[in-house]
Every structure is written in structure tokens, then in C-alpha cells.
Amino acid sequence: MSQHNPALLILTALPLVGALAVFSLREAQAKLAKQLSLAVSLAVLVYTMVVLFSFDTKGDRFQFVGSWTWIKAFGVHLAFGVDGIALVLTAMAVLLVPAVILASWNALDSRAGSEEAATASGRRRSVKNYFGLILLLEFFMIGVFTAMDVFLFYVFFEAMLVPMYFIIGSFGGPRRQYAAMKFFLYSLVGGLLMLASVIGLYVTSSVKTFSISELIAHPMPDNTTQKWLFLGFFIAFAIKAPLVPFHTWLPDAGAEAPAGGAALLVGVLDKVGTFGFLRYCLPLFPDASRYFATPVLILSVIGILYAAFLAIGQRDMKRLVAYTSVAHFGFIGLGIFAFTTQGGTGAVLYMVNHGFSTGALFIVVGLLIARGKSRNVDDYGGAAKVTPILSGMFLLAGLSALALPGMSTFVSEFLVLVGTFTRHKGLAVLATTGIILAAIYVLYLYKRTFQGPVTEKVTRFHDLNAREVFAVAPLIALIVFLGVYPKPVLDVINPAVKQTLVNVHKSDPTPKYGTAAGGTK
């Protein structure tokens, strides 16, 4: 296998070059900035699809591997590579970016009447900087999923904070500065814990390298050291995910971020946390992962139920969607730490499907808010009669969020619950009640905003235009397609999940009942 394959290096660099080009434009070239950003994001998407369809599901675990010396004294490399898990998450990220760019096309235009534009009174906001930050964020997102060097991963992990901080703090809602600072501080604390663990990992490792493949092949034998290093990585990833009780920054950041930024924040950035569990915590610290599995499973179930109840009581639409994501991350954590093939595969598929589902939901909520200039659920009513296309898109995204059969999230949730049930029946049963609660908060939101008498404000709304439809329709189509036929994605995910279970020294439970040699047992 070649160690100098430039495919992923080129993929990672493309949005960075695009971001620098957009930043170099003049403020008066706002339209060109939008067009250039969209063109670059589409080029990245096409390139990613070429890589995706070139991936050999029966080949090596890590493919398209390229490594170049960066800091020779410490053995740090610019190393890139993907397994099935990283590849599908990268594909999900680059699919969301063009949708966000299209949905945000007029977000900073005061004539658009959006909430973000309405809060811009007294300050001038740069259109080119907004779209440049989105491309810069895409650069870091691709880098964090494709990095094959732990130190390089840490750099991307921390650097992601910068563009998202400015997206929230400069282009968000009325409490944007508070939300941005809270997001930054929480993530920074987690990042500092990870940095200490990265240093500890290098010092205590027998191979003195940051190469993820080498570290997985030579896990440390000291259980006590494993536990401390695991906790450093785990807390950083739990904050990023976020899992309860590290979740309190997300409702504020999700509510105050512009709709496009919120879609990327919850749809992609938060997946870095759960991706980190699978890529780093489990294979690098297998003994510690098994030791802490039960507390993590309990926290995941608590998160499912607690966040669902909080979502039911929300009147702010964006905060409601943010709380639903906390509940969904509980399902993902449950699947990962159940240590079964079905649970792990379901968790990875859930990450992908949640990205499309919540990304679409944040976008359509943002489009509704752009028309009504309010996030309050009670300010709307009867919008389905005035905006039937927006209503239909909202309903489909909402049904996906509650995991309706036929939607992609149903497959994910089913696999997670079945995989968990084989080892932890009680926790799986408790988690199942989250499905009922999800139906309550999603249908409540839809009923209050789109059904009932048409309010005076809603009568002035206009339905989705062609650009807005093109922003949301591909995500809805993917949600339905993967709900009916998830096999292509599962085929890519399965080998990496099975290898992760081998790394953590776990196998699927043996069924208690089955066919014996002489008949049915």
C-alpha cells in the first residue's frame, strides 16, 4: 500500500484554497464570493464522490493513505487515510456544505428579512467572510476525519473552533457573543484535556509515534495509564458530541448560530466527538473502554430521556432542534459502547443520517424564521396553507428526526436498539421510550407552526423558491433513499466497525436459542 497517496491531501486542501480565494475578494464582490464558495463546495463534493466510489470494501482497513514528515524530531506526520467510518462521515460533511451555502445565500441581506439580518442593525457584516468561514470550516472538518496522525488530528480538532466561533459570534442571533464564548470555552477545556492525553500517549507508548495505525497495533499494557488517558480523550469528545452532562453549551450555540452554521455545528462538528470514541478511545484504550462502558451507557440513556423532556418544553424552535440532537447523541453513544456489530454499525449510520436529518431540519427552521423574524413557536400557525412546499419539507425532516419507518434514521435507531438489547436489555428498553418522546416534540412543533388557523403574520409569507428547494431537496432525497436501501452505506461501514470490536477485544454475544444438531433447541 502506497504511503504517498495524495488523494486525501488534495481533498483536504481544496476548501482551504477556496477559502483563501474568497477572503481575498473585496467587500463589494459579495455575489462573486457566494458563487465561488458554491463552486468550490461542489468541486469538493464531486472529488469526494470519486474517492467514495473508489473505496474497496474488501480491501485494507485504511485506504488512500498518504504520509509526509512534518515535525521530524517528534515523529509527527501530515498523514491522511480513511476507513469506512471516516469516509462516510467525510461524505456527509461535504454534502451538507453546498446545501448550507445555498440556504444561506441571502442570509446576510437585510432585504431578505431573516432573523440574522434583522439583528444586524447598527453593524456591517461581511458576506465574503461568512462564506469564506464556511469553506475554512469544511477544510478543518475534512482534516479531522481523514487525519491518521494523533497530533495532526488534535490540531484540526482545536482549529475547528475558530471558524465556528466567528460564525456564531459575528453572524448569529441577539445572544451570539455569549453563545460563542460558551461554545469556545467548553471546547477549549476539552481540548486541553486531550492535549495532555496526547502528550501522555506519546510518552508512555512503546513505539514513540503519533501514527494511529502503529498505536492501535501496540496498545499500552498498563491499565491505570489507559484509564487516565481514556478519560482525557473521552471528556474532550463527550463535550464535542455532546453527551449529558457536558451538553449545556449546545442549546445556546445552536439557537444563536445562523441556521446554516447551526446545521454544520450539529450536523457535522458534533460528530467529531462520537467519531473520536470509535477512532481513538476504543482501539487505543481497549481495557479502559470496557471498564468505563457501563457508566457511559447509563449517561447515554439519561441523555436520551432528559433531552427529550427538555425539547418538549421549548418554545424556541432552534433550541428545540438542538435538544433533539442531544437525545440523538445518546442513541449514538449507546450503540458505540454496547460493543456489538449491530450497535456499532447503527451508531455510525446514525451519525450520517443524523447529519442529513438535523441539517435539513435546521435549514427549514431557518427558512421559516427568515419569513417570520421570530424563533418563538407561538408566533406562527397555519403556515401549511400558505407555504405548502416549506411545510412538506419541514414535515419530512421532522419525521426523519423522530425515526419514522421508511426514513433513514429508523434503520439507525433500530440497529442501535437491537445491538444494545443483546447485552443490556434494561437500558435498551428505557432508550426505546425516547422514540415516543421524539414523536411528541416533533409533532408538537409541526402542529403549532404549520397547522391550525392562519395567523396574520403568516399570510404574508412566500413559499420556497427554486434555490431554497435545491438546498433542502437533496437532503430529503438521501433521507428517504437510505431509509429504503441503506445497504451501500452499511457495506462501507461494517468492516471498520468489526475491526474496531476486534481492537477492543469484544465479539457479538452468542444467541441463547438456536438450532442444535438434533433439532430446534
Q: What is the pLDDT of residues 5-20, one digit of tens each?
A: 899 999 999 999 999 9
Residue 515 binned pLDDT confidence (cut-offs 50, 70, 90):
very low
Is 60 exceeded by the pLDDT of residue 405?
yes
**Kind of pairing between the strands at 519-520 and 63-71:** unpaired
pTM of the full predicted structure? 0.92
- State the DSSP string of 311-354: HHT--BHHHHHHHHHHHHHHHHHHHHHTT-HHHHHHHHHHHHHH
- In total, the chain counts a number of residues equal to 521
- Give the residue-averaged pLDDT of 125-138: 92
Burial readout 52-77 (b: 16 or more C-beta within 10 A, e: otherwise): beebeeeeebbbbbbbeebeeeebbb
**Kind of pairing between the strands at 519-520 and 515-516:** antiparallel
- Whether residue 84 lies inside any domain: the answer is yes
Please give the angle made by the CA atoms of 433, 363 and 315, to the nearest 5 degrees: 55
- Whether residue 483 lies inside any domain: the answer is yes
Q: What is the pLDDT of residues 459-475, one digit of tens each?
A: 888 998 999 999 999 99
What is the predicted pLDDT for the residue at 459? 87
- Identity of residue 281: C
Phi, psi of 503 (to 5 degrees): -60, -35
**How far apart are alpha carbons 248 and 271 in whole angstroms?**
17
Describe the chain by its helix, strand, coil percentages, rounded to 5. 75, 5, 20
Count of structural domains, the chain: 1
- Give the residue-averaged pLDDT of 417-429: 92
Q: What is the pLDDT of residues 323-366, one digit of tens each?
A: 998 999 999 999 999 999 999 999 999 999 999 999 999 999 99
Residue 223 binned pLDDT confidence (cut-offs 50, 70, 90):
confident
- Give the residue-averaged pLDDT of 304-328: 90
Is 70 exceeded by the pLDDT of residue 519?
no
- Whether residue 391 lies inside any domain: the answer is yes
Lookup: cell for 12? 483536504
- Whether residue 208 lies inside any domain: the answer is no
Residue 428 binned pLDDT confidence (cut-offs 50, 70, 90):
very high
- Whether residue 456 lies inside any domain: the answer is yes
Is 90 exceeded by the pLDDT of residue 373?
no
CB neighbourhood size of 24 (10 A)? 11
What is the predicted pLDDT for the residue at 113? 44
What is the predicted pLDDT for the residue at 511? 65
Handedness of CA 449, 453, 458, 464 (dihedral sign): positive
Range of the domain at 372: 7-155+295-508
What is the predicted pLDDT for the residue at 458? 85
- Whether residue 312 lies inside any domain: the answer is yes
- Whether residue 504 lies inside any domain: the answer is yes
Residue 455 binned pLDDT confidence (cut-offs 50, 70, 90):
confident
Q: Give the CA distances from residue 6 to residues 51, 65, 265, 384, in Å, rounded to whole numbers and listed in that order.
A: 12, 8, 28, 49
- Whether residue 230 lies inside any domain: the answer is no
Contacts of 487 (CB under 8 A, 6+ apart): none
Q: Which of 70-74, 139-143, 324-328, 497-501 has the lowest mean pLDDT?
A: 70-74
Is 70 exceeded by the pLDDT of residue 520?
no
What is the predicted pLDDT for the residue at 381? 84
Residue 112 binned pLDDT confidence (cut-offs 50, 70, 90):
very low
Q: How high does pLDDT run on average in the chain?
A: 89
